[in-house]
Amino acid sequence: MIDIHSHILPEMDDGSGNIQESIEMARKAVEQGITDIIATPHYIKGKYENDKEKVEEETRKLNQVLDEMDIPLKVWPGQEIRISDVLIDDYDNNKIMGLNASRYILLELPLNHVPRYMERLIYDLQMKRMTPIIAHPERNLEIIKNPQLLKELIWKGAYSQITAGSITGKFGWRTKRFSKFLVHSGLTHFIASDSHNVGNRGFQIREANKIIEKSFGKDAVNGFKENAENVLYGKRVKELLFH
């Protein structure tokens, strides 16, 4: 199984605090049945400026440690990029990258609203042959109030990724209900851990998959798994519709 969103690299952001914690996280990931994980440290201007080069270097180092310790997990480089009006400049300047250098780029919205320049940003990225994946839309306050906003972004060609913990109820029953609504409406394409540590922000993908299987069937679980694989290998992502 592949996890396309994690903060497993040490000392980059509010995720893993040190290499020991990264190793523990890797062990937990393996327990979940994860074989490949994309490290997506935050890239936020003025806060966490984890550029492409740094992420690639840290990914290489972590893989080396895991290899030496015989932990069967492969880490691939990526970023979770907070949207900004200079995002395209950052792309042009090689500061940001797609997930495992694919055309799929993981974007983070502010928590409380969807900036009006978002549609333009999707278009500008598409002009660069990039496809945005919107991270955890189920936690954006404006999308919760008006899911049509997400639908419009998806019509424009974006994909979306729900956090496993949102499905399991970690962020409350409202988030859980809304996440299931997004799956049911075909408004999401990926389930990922967004794991930050071995404590309260762990993996939960296996638990989320059980709930998805119960509500939407085995095909739904397989669809999400295949899409994560398609991202890692730069293949075409599938639309998913389950009723």
Angle formed at CA 24 by CA 21 and CA 29, multiple of 5 degrees:
125
Contact 34, 203 (CB under 8 A): yes
Is residue 3 involved in binding Fe ion (CB under 5 A)?
no
Give 37's contacts (C-beta < 8 A, 6+ positions apart): 2, 3, 6, 8, 26, 29, 73, 74, 75, 76
Distance CA 117, CA 114 (A): 8
Q: How far is the CB of 37 from Fe ion (least distance, A)?
A: 13
Q: Which H or E element spans position 2?
A: strand 2-6
Query: Is the Cβ of residue 90 or residue 194 nearer to Fe ion in the bound state?
Result: 194
Task: Give the nearest distance from C-beta 71 to Fe ion in angstroms.
Answer: 22
Nearest residue to the partner Fe ion, using Cβ: 194
Binding window for Fe ion (CB under 5 A); candidates: 75-83, 142-150, 208-216, 235-243: 75-83
Span 107-126, contacts to Fe ion by CB under 5 A: none
In the bound complex, what is the minimum distance in angstroms from residue 34's beta carbon to Fe ion? 16
Among 3, 21, 58, 80, which residue interacts with Fe ion (rule: CB under 5 A)? Answer: 80
- Least Cβ distance, residue 150 to Fe ion (angstroms): 18
φ, ψ for residue 77, nearest 5 deg = -85, 145
Residues numbered 166-205 forming contacts with Fe ion, rule: CB under 5 A: 194
The sign of the torsion formed by the CA atoms of 199, 18, 21, 197 equals: positive
- Report the residue number, 195 or 216, with the smaller CB distance to Fe ion: 195
Residues that bind Fe ion (CB under 5 A): 80, 194
